[in-house]
């Protein structure tokens, strides 16, 4: 039985809306909240089941109605001070959160049967949560308050979740009643002398904790004695660390556990029987805790670390577990995170040669930052055990590397496909080879030229029909030179957008038209995403050679666009879409680094002759898939600095909905904010869905974009901007993916 004495996540006002209460129920992941009046008195409970029953009973549910109006007034509760043994008898299926109330009926704790998670500050620690990373400062400040603050700064920069100090009252702690070590064995004498020199006073410790609060960083502390624990309790630390040396100190364990705040307990230097005894002491107070596997030698031999013991420790404690490391390096800590450690603790220093055992097993600031980064990468890589899906990057590489079923000879409508009519060749644009048996024996509804792909539509047996649409703004289709005629046979777009490959820009555009021919549409163009030799346009590059070639390539696309104009009916100058650059292979830059990169882009654009075209910057995703793998974009993602660029230099945007939605997801900001800030600068639109932070090009309706809201905002902010559906592989089977998207978009746009 655990008493959670920080129950804010379980409390809602009885005047809050039902929707607000339901959102709190979802956030605490416990299926219930307790409602309070203006005096803080609990007036009822509201579970997700209560809400479901109310919804079923209502013909027109009003989610703005006060939550108190549907609350359960006959909720189960216990009084503060009720023995835990009695509380535990009340737990039963469907009742696993019992409010503990004071004499005025106010909520002081939540009784739960176990601990999936423990909360310190604003962070949940435990199953399903990222590792809680603690930078152990300990006494590595050498008794210097300023050095302690410097170490806090280093930990903030490294991205840890928490720092940890140690506090001792030497008079209470040692048998001599002071730091005097005469008569002690050599080991204790050495340790006592170090502590006498390098401990912070209680007042300086509180100043260090204040500084952590100023930096927005959780800070916990190890009390080595009762008086130090009282100092920390009076200050109000969010949690306590118990050192391995005190695991058998029942007096200290009882004293700290009685505070009711979370405890992180190291188990080094202890037998399993002693660990079980400590757990029993802490449990007797109902205090939440985490057990840490620890090898208390400095540095610890790898053979003694025994990370697998965390599994057994979790069973012993029935609690979250973690790892406190004293070995050299940080790779073992990363491995511990991969094995499921909910807490990682590593010492940090500014100089490994300083006096004291801890320094030699500590990490320098850069090493600490690298450990944090690698742990987060490993956590991301762990993923889930859900059924395997093909990632966005894999889908792109599958097209390039996989194989398809293609026609071995010219086939006509009405022909029955025979095995000898089909070959297996790359690339992977069409039916996968494992669909051969499904294809053989099918009657074709279309002509398939030798070397062309077979598609899923060839299995359906239905001919493609003509596609007509009505939109409030001009709509178009992405094309290559060879796509134009087939797509115009089955649709009447307002315009076409040429997505050039690096080979396309080497071709004569006039060769694809009859002499004097002018199509009734207008057109736009899109610069190549990739050139031969793995070259990418990067107008922000600090490398002059890359920068200058990028300018030349953009100018070439502009020149081709001007040539194409004679073959189209264009009242306005054609739009040119360019991915301006600013990407890196391995990291995102800091916000303050972006402004000079934008200035570099503008300096490049000033060298481009833009006469006769509307040159636009495409909005970009955080993790573009380039050259078969993930990269890191930095520009035209953040809405504020993108708007600044447009306003400062009079530039216009092609808003790629998928890219910008991914950027919003990555920044954990509402997508609507991005549209509102970028909207006034939109010249052109690529409309497509998105998933997560790198799932771009998703079919409309298969991702996370709220298209109804998007359409309303774009109607207001950029009502005349034309759009194309830029679906990944939408062009295959004569634009099948594009037309599916347009069918779905018509209801909103």
What are phi and psi for residue 73, nearest 5 degrees?
Answer: -85, -10
Gyration radius of the chain over CA positions: 33
pLDDT of residue 464: 65
Residue 220 phi/psi, 5-degree rounding, is -120, 175
Q: How far, CA to CA in Å, does 72 sit from each of 40, 50, 109, 377?
A: 17, 8, 19, 44
Distance in angstroms (rounded) separating the CA atoms of residues 693 and 697: 12
Give the C-alpha separation, 154 to 159, whole Å: 9
DSSP, collapsed to helix, strand or coil, labels residue 285 as coil
DSSP string, 714-738: HHHH-TT--EEE--TTTTHHHHHHH
d(CA 557, CA 546) in angstroms, rounded, equals 17
CB contact at 8 A, 714 and 675 = yes
DSSP 420-447: GGEEEES--SS--GGGHHHHTTPBPSS-
Question: Tokens 């023995």 belong to which residue?
Answer: 83
Q: Would you state the pLDDT for residue 186?
A: 43
Neighbours of 19 (CB within 10 A): 15
Q: Does the pTM exceed 0.85?
A: no
User: Token match 């930052």: residue?
Assistant: 369
Is the CB of residue 586 less than 8 Å from the CB of residue 632?
A: yes
Name the pairing type of β-strands 614-618 and 652-656: parallel
Strands 162-167 and 522-526: unpaired
Across-strand partners of 407? 422
Distance between CA atoms of residues 74 and 561, nearest Å: 74
Predicted local distance difference test score (pLDDT) of residue 393:
73
At 496, list the tokens. Answer: 């076409």
| H/E segment holding residue 266 | strand 263-266
Here the tokens at position 328 are: 């050299």
Residue with tokens 């600031």: 365
**Which residue's structure tokens are 């998933």?**
691
Q: Where are the alpha helices (DSSP H) in 533-582?
A: 544-564
Dihedrals phi, psi of 175, to nearest 5 degrees: -65, -25
In three-state secondary structure terms, 338 is helix
CA–CA separation, 353 vs 357, rounded Å? 10
Q: E strands, 348-443, where?
A: 404-407, 422-425
Please give the pLDDT value at position 475.
Answer: 97
Termini Cα distance of the chain: 56
- The DSSP call for residue 129 is S
Predicted pLDDT of residue 390: 78
Annotate 46-114 with DSSP letters as a single string: EEHHHHHHHHHH-SS--TTSBGGGG-BSS---EETT--HHHHHTT-BTTB--EEEE-TTSBEEEEEESS
Q: Are 287 and 257 in contact (CB under 8 A)?
A: yes
| Alpha-carbon gap, residue 333 to 289, rounded angstroms | 20
Q: Is the dihedral of CA 666, 669, 672, 674 positive or negative?
A: negative
Residue closest to 275 by CA, chosen among 292, 296, 258:
292
> Average pLDDT per run of 10 along the chain, which is 749 residues long?
83 92 87 92 92 90 92 91 87 86 91 83 90 94 92 96 91 53 46 63 94 96 94 96 95 95 95 95 93 92 94 94 94 96 96 85 94 95 85 76 92 93 90 93 90 86 77 95 89 94 93 92 94 91 96 97 93 95 90 95 97 97 76 94 97 97 96 96 96 90 95 96 92 86 95
**Partners of 74 in the β-ladder:** none
Which helix (H) or strand (E) covers residue 262, if one does?
none
Sign of the four-CA dihedral 286, 288, 292, 298: negative
Distance separating alpha carbons of residues 367 and 10, to the nearest angstrom: 39
Please write down the long-range contacts of 702-710, taking CB distance under 8 Å and 24 or more positions apart: 703/658, 703/661, 704/661, 704/665, 705/657, 705/658, 705/661, 705/671, 706/671, 707/744, 707/745, 707/748, 708/748, 709/672, 710/657, 710/671, 710/675, 710/748
């Amino acid at each position: 039985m655990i008493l959670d004495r920080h129950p804010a996540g379980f409390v809602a006002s009885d005047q809050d809306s039902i929707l607000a209460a339901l959102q709190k129920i979802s956030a605490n992941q416990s299926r219930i909240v307790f409602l309070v009046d203006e005096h803080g008195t609990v007036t009822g409970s509201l579970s997700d089941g209560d809400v479901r029953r109310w919804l079923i009973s209502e013909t027109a549910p009003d989610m703005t109605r006060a939550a108190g109006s549907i609350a359960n007034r006959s909720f189960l509760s216990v009084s503060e001070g009720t023995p835990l043994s009695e509380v535990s008898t009340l737990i039963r299926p469907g009742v696993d959160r019992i409010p503990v109330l004071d004499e005025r009926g106010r909520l002081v704790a939540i009784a739960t049967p176990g601990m999936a998670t423990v909360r310190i500050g604003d962070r949940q620690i435990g199953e399903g949560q990222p590792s809680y990373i603690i930078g152990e400062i300990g006494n590595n400040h050498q008794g210097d308050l300023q050095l302690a603050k410097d170490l806090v700064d280093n930990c903030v920069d490294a991205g840890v979740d928490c720092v940890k100090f140690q506090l001792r009252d030497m008079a209470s702690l040692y048998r001599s009643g002071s730091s005097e070590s005469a008569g002690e064995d050599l080991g204790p004498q050495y340790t006592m002398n170090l502590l006498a020199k390098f401990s912070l006073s209680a007042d300086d410790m509180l100043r260090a904790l204040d500084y952590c609060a100023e930096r927005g960083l959780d800070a916990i502390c190890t009390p080595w004695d009762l008086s130090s624990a009282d100092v920390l309790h009076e200050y109000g630390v969010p949690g306590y660390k118990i050192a391995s040396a005190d695991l058998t100190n029942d007096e200290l364990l009882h004293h700290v556990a009685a505070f009711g705040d979370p405890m992180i307990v190291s188990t080094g230097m202890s037998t399993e029987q002693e660990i079980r005894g400590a757990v029993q002491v802490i449990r007797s107070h109902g205090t939440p805790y985490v057990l840490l596997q620890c090898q208390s030698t400095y540095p610890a031999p790898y053979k003694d670390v025994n990370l697998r013991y965390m599994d057994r420790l979790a069973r012993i404690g029935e609690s979250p577990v973690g790892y406190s490391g004293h070995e050299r390096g940080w790779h073992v800590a990363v491995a511990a995170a991969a094995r499921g450690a909910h807490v990682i603790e590593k010492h940090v220093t500014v100089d490994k040669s300083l006096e004291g055992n801890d320094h030699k097993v500590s990490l320098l600031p850069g090493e600490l930052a690298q450990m944090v980064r690698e742990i987060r990468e490993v956590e991301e890589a762990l993923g889930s055990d859900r059924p395997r899906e093909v990632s966005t990057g894999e889908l792109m590489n599958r097209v390039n590397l996989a194989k398809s079923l293609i026609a071995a000879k010219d086939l006509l409508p009405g022909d029955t496909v025979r095995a000898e009519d089909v070959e297996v060749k790359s690339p992977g644009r069409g039916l996968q080879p494992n669909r051969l048996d499904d294809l053989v024996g099918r009657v074709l509804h279309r002509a398939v030229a030798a070397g062309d792909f077979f598609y899923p539509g060839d299995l359906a047996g239905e001919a493609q029909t003509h596609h007509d649409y009505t939109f409030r703004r001009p709509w178009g289709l992405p094309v290559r030179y060879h796509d134009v005629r087939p797509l115009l046979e089955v649709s009447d777009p307002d315009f076409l957008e040429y997505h050039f490959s690096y080979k396309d820009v080497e071709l004569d555009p006039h060769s694809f038209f009859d002499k004097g021919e002018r199509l009734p549409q207008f057109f736009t163009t899109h610069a190549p995403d990739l050139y031969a030799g793995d070259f990418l346009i990067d107008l922000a590059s600090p490398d002059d050679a890359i920068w200058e070639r990028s300018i030349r390539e953009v100018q070439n696309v502009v020149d081709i666009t001007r040539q194409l104009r004679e073959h189209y009916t264009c009242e306005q100058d054609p739009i040119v879409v360019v991915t301006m650059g600013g990407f890196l292979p391995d990291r995102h830059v800091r916000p303050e680094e972006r402004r000079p990169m934008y200035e570099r882009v503008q300096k490049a654009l000033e060298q481009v002759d833009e006469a006769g075209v509307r040159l636009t910057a495409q909005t970009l995703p955080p993790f573009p898939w380039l050259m078969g793998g993930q990269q890191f974009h930095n520009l035209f993602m953040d809405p504020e600095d993108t708007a600044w660029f447009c306003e400062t230099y009079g530039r216009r945007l092609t808003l790629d909905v998928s890219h910008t939605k991914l950027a919003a997801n990555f920044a954990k900001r509402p997508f609507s904010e991005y549209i509102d800030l970028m909207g006034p600068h939109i010249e052109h639109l690529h409309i497509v869905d998105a998933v997560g932070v790198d799932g771009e090009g998703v079919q409309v309706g298969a991702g996370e974009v709220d298209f109804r809201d998007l359409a309303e905002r774009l109607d207001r902010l950029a009502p005349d901007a034309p759009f194309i559906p830029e679906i990944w592989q939408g062009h295959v089977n004569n634009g099948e993916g594009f037309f599916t998207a347009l069918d779905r978009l018509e209801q909103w746009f």
